[in-house]
Amino acid sequence: MSTPLDQVIKDALDERELAYDNPEPGRFLVVLPGIKKQQTNCWLSVGKHALVVEAFVCRRPDEAFEEVYRFLLRRNARLYGVHYTVDKAGDIYLLGRVGLNSVTADELDKLLGQVLEAADGDFNTLLEIGFATAIRREWDWRTSRGESLANLKAFEHLLEPAQRSRVSDEADS
């Protein structure tokens, strides 16, 4: 059965023209459109005492775990209403809890805005730190097959000098 809080959430999401699904009372899957990370899926779950906000950011890093986790811990100090966490598999999420009495359209706007700013804004940095080797391999694979590098351009600075010169040579021809 839908609650008055469900209506507050629906109205706030509709007003902000956000795509969402409401599979059951008290549960909303909100799709936050991004730039670096194409979209961030964010669950809003109404509990007994709090609204829980949970968003997947990226999978477990392949490398440089300590550096990734150090970045997340430092970043937590600047986040509003949510914090970075990892699950048992090491995947990275944003998680927050807000008392039910504090849930308003404005508060939801702040929370979802923070989720989007963090997930989208930190996405490339997390990839650079935790997936640099995979990015280089993908760059080589795409270049060898003449595939598009468009969505990898943000990571060009990670390339080895030899990879960079091949890119320059191809651009010149």
- Band of residue 173 on the pLDDT scale cut at 50, 70, 90: very low
Residues 45 and 96 in one domain: yes
Residues 126 and 141 in one domain: no
Per-residue pLDDT, averaged over 114-118, amounts to: 97
pTM of the model: 0.86
Is it the case that residue 53 has pLDDT exceeding 90?
Answer: yes
What is the CB neighbour count within 10 angstroms for residue 2? 11
Residues 143 and 77 in one domain: no
Q: For position 157, what pLDDT does the model report?
A: 82
Q: Would you put residue 97 in left (φ > 0), alpha (ψ -120 to 50) or beta?
A: beta
Residues 115 and 161 in one domain: no
Residues 11 and 37 in one domain: yes
Residues 86 and 168 in one domain: no
C-alpha angle 26-32-33 in degrees, rounded to nearest 5: 160
Residues 19 and 40 in one domain: yes
Residues 48 and 116 in one domain: yes
Per residue in 38-48, pLDDT (tens digit) is 999 999 999 99
What is the chain's percent helix, strand, coil content, to nearest 5? Answer: 50, 25, 25
Per residue in 55-97, pLDDT (tens digit) is 999 999 999 999 999 999 999 999 999 999 999 999 999 999 9
The count of domains in the chain is 2
Residues 22 and 99 in one domain: yes
Residues 17 and 43 in one domain: yes
Residues 62 and 138 in one domain: no
Structural domain harbouring 160: 132-172
Per residue in 131-161, pLDDT (tens digit) is 999 988 888 898 889 888 888 888 888 876 6
Q: Are 108 and 12 contacting, i.e. CB atoms less than 8 angstroms apart? A: yes
Q: What is the CATH number of the domain that holds 116?
A: 3.30.1460.10
Residues 81 and 92 in one domain: yes
